[in-house]
Amino acid sequence: MAAAPPPPSCCLVALPPHAKDGLVVFGKNSARPRDEVQEVVYFPAADHEPESKVECTYISVDQVPKTHAIVISRPAWLWGAEMGANEHGVCIANEAVNAREPAAETEALLGMDLVRLGLERGSTAKEALDVIVALLEEHGQGGNYYEDAGSCHSFQSAYLIVDHEEAWVLETVGKYWAAEKVTEGVRCICNQLSLTTKIDAEHPELRSYAQRQGWWTGEDEFNFSEVFSPADDHLHCCAGKDSLEKQEEGITVQTMIDILRDKASGVCIDSESFLTTASMASVLPQSRGSPCIHYFTGTPDPSRSIFKPFIFVDDVKLVPKAQSPCFGDDDPARREPRFQEKPDRRHELYKAHEWARAVIASGQEQGRRLRRTMLELEKQGLEAMEEILASPAPPDPAEVADLFYDCVDTEIKFFK
């Protein structure tokens, strides 16, 4: 039986010379089951007691003495993240992939847990990569990717890990992995293995494992995706990469947002089983003086959503309206047998936005007007952020501490 197809998410990065004036631009569309809710959550930096543990989605792992401040977009039932950023300007997104080696159903770390662990513990892209592969080696990956009692969908995982200097593409099969460093141009990862012969770091036993499995002779050049992809996987180029490559230079966060909204290319998914349930775009200036700016929708379908900016400062105002209700230890995702019921995880922003989605989908004049006004609202935010990036002085922390909060608030009021 062929493995179920992984959700068709898409992660993208553009570095100079393709990106505009010394910026690194990052983006992800998170494709997930259609009715799943994603929340946007900020966690401040924290110090932890020695010997303490951190409870991830299915298992606990040793906590580290200090975790960085992070902002993440995540399916509301799990601990990890589909995508996010930390206070040091590291952004990570993951992709579920199938490989020749079926993914373990045994509960271990999810690819999404590793995204969050990498953000909490890595102050550069390379450091985050090292964190992820060390945890993978120690705990393995596995468990259900969906809030579904009916069947277990487990996948291998790939990651796009980016900071203001470089990007790393990390692809994993069980505890084995390979990674490629990207320092210029554009890169896209979608839901299949993409690394070929340029490998800049790898699991020490990767090649001997491939030989033991009879997947590689040891004589031909080692091509990671040829060796590890399932037989029926034909490498197709990610549509997002085509769109980015057409923009020879001058890619900005607006370019990235436009690509994430593109349904015709397949970057923005709206199918029977999957929907882009949340999106993120970030701009990471290479000069340390300017702040990194991260935009989140917190709502499904980026073509009908507003990208709202977030900047890390010390006293970021929390945004409960973009956070799902918390069910604590009673959460059906945390009790075994898991997922015996599905609680209503919609947050206030999601509920307000449902109305807008319905109006736009109706195709009437009211919907067209609504969408224009939403884009206008978004444009104001983007222009204000352009000014911050162009300014020689860093922004006043007091002015940006409630930036995301205000944008969410304005959006909800607007929908009412």
pLDDT of residue 202: 98
Which of 77, 255, 86, 243 shows the shortest CA–CA distance to 149?
A: 77
Domains and CATH numbers, the chain: 10-415 (3.60.60.10)
Q: What is the pLDDT of residues 19-63, one digit of tens each?
A: 988 999 999 999 999 999 999 999 999 999 999 999 999 999 999
Q: Does the annotation count 11 as an active-site position?
A: yes
280 in Cβ contact with 296 (< 8 Å): yes
Matching residue, tokens 């006293």: 315
Q: What is the pLDDT of residues 323-351, one digit of tens each?
A: 999 999 999 999 999 999 999 999 999 99
Q: What is the pTM of this model?
A: 0.97
284 in Cβ contact with 23 (< 8 Å): yes
pLDDT of residue 303: 96
3-state helix, strand, coil in the chain (%, to 5): 30, 25, 45
Q: Is pLDDT above 80 for 361?
A: yes
- Indicate the pLDDT class of residue 287, thresholds 50, 70 and 90: confident
CA distances 203 to 33, 131, 237, Å, are 32, 13, 26
Q: Is pLDDT above 90 for 187?
A: yes
Average pLDDT, the chain: 95
HEC secondary structure over 77-127? CCCCCCEEEECCCCEEEEEEECCCCCCCCCCCECHHHHHHHHHHHCCCHHH
Which of 137, 173, 136 shows the shortest CA–CA distance to 157?
A: 173
What single string gives the DSSP state of each residue in 33-90? ETT--EEEEEE--EE--TT-EEE-SS-EEEPPSEE--EEEEEETTSSS-SEEEETTS-
- Indicate the pLDDT class of residue 243, thresholds 50, 70 and 90: confident
pLDDT of residue 235: 61
CA distances 214 to 100, 209, 221, 224, Å, are 11, 9, 15, 14
Catalytic option among 10, 11, 56, 292: 11
Taking residues 130-152, what's their average pLDDT?
A: 97
145 in Cβ contact with 153 (< 8 Å): yes
Sheet of strand 10-15, all strands in order from the earlier edge strand to the far edge: 185-189, 10-15, 23-33, 274-285, 293-296, 308-310
